[in-house]
Amino acid sequence: MTSTSFANFQNSASGAKGIIHLESITKSYYMGKQELLVLKGISLDIFKNEYVALMGPSGSGKSTLMNILGCLDSPTGGTYILNGQDVSKMPDNDLAEVRNKEIGFVFQQFNLMPRLTAVENVALPLVYAGVSKKLRIEMAMNVLEKVSLTDRSHHKPNELSGGQCQRVAIARALVNNPSLILADEPTGNLDSKTSVEIMDIFGAIQAAGNTVVLVTHEEDIANYAHRIIRLRDGVIESDKRRPPTPVEQLAVV
């Protein structure tokens, strides 16, 4: 039995709910009349409450796969089931709704609105969801508390450190209670100490029951995840679970 099959067997046997199911996913781009095949038949399952790192060198297809997982792009072929919905061939308007409801994004560049305060940035997804102003501010403050940033809630991004901006971005990703947290190089613009603090937050998010998929090229960051999937030349090169640390073993006991 392969490591991937064993991982799937373990989750199926324990009754874990699948969040992501990819079956024979391909993605092609055209340069003139020449077809460039980037993803070459990716099949993958990610289950509720998993903490997964996607890794691979430049050109491996990991960014393309991330865009498909985040419903920012659609596959050329194959099937993508996200939390029970087939999103493989959804039109753009429907994909936008799925993104807002099901996925919380955290990016390397933070992507905060410079004229909005921290709490207003966090509340932004709730505006698109039609939540009343009073309720969305209340919900935004609740998640800012989870990332220890309530005291900076009324500051704008240019008044915050890089680590604080990333905490705001994480809170924004959490505010809609999504099925999946998708983080793309979330520590890429941070120093080592701040990176550790941000990764500790992701660990707490996963421990609270969330599913986290982390895209990174840094081995030390990937090792925070419990499962590491490596891509090369558009295919999955390896899919392995990291052995639990002594602390994690004690937590299970």
pTM of the model: 0.87
Q: What is the pLDDT of residue 171?
A: 97
Tens digit of each residue's pLDDT (9 = 90 or more) over 186-201? 999 999 999 999 999 9
Q: Quick check: is 187 in a domain?
A: yes
Residue-wise pLDDT for 111-141, tens only, equals 999 999 999 999 999 988 889 999 999 999 9
What are the respective helix, strand and coil percentages of the chain, to the nearest 5?
40, 25, 35
Instruction: Evaluate whether residue 155 is within a structural domain.
Output: yes
Note the pLDDT of residue 5: 38
Which ranges of 15-132 does DSSP label H, i.e. alpha helix?
Answer: 62-69, 92-102, 118-128
pLDDT value of residue 8: 46
pLDDT of residue 199: 96
Structure tokens at 46: 């990610």
Rounded distance between C-alpha atoms, residue 55 and residue 61, angstroms: 10
Task: Give the range of the structural domain holding residue 242, as residue numbers without chain letter.
Answer: 49-73+91-252
Residue 35 in any domain: the answer is: no
Tell me whether residue 13 is in a domain: no
Q: What's the pLDDT at 14? A: 44
Residue 54 lies inside a defined structural domain of this protein: yes
Q: How many helices (H) and strands (E) does the chain have?
A: 9, 10
CATH of the domain at 67: 3.40.50.300
In a domain, 235, yes or no: yes
Model pLDDT, residue 21? 97
- What pLDDT does residue 242 have? 81
Low-confidence ranges of the chain (pLDDT < 70): 1-16, 244-253
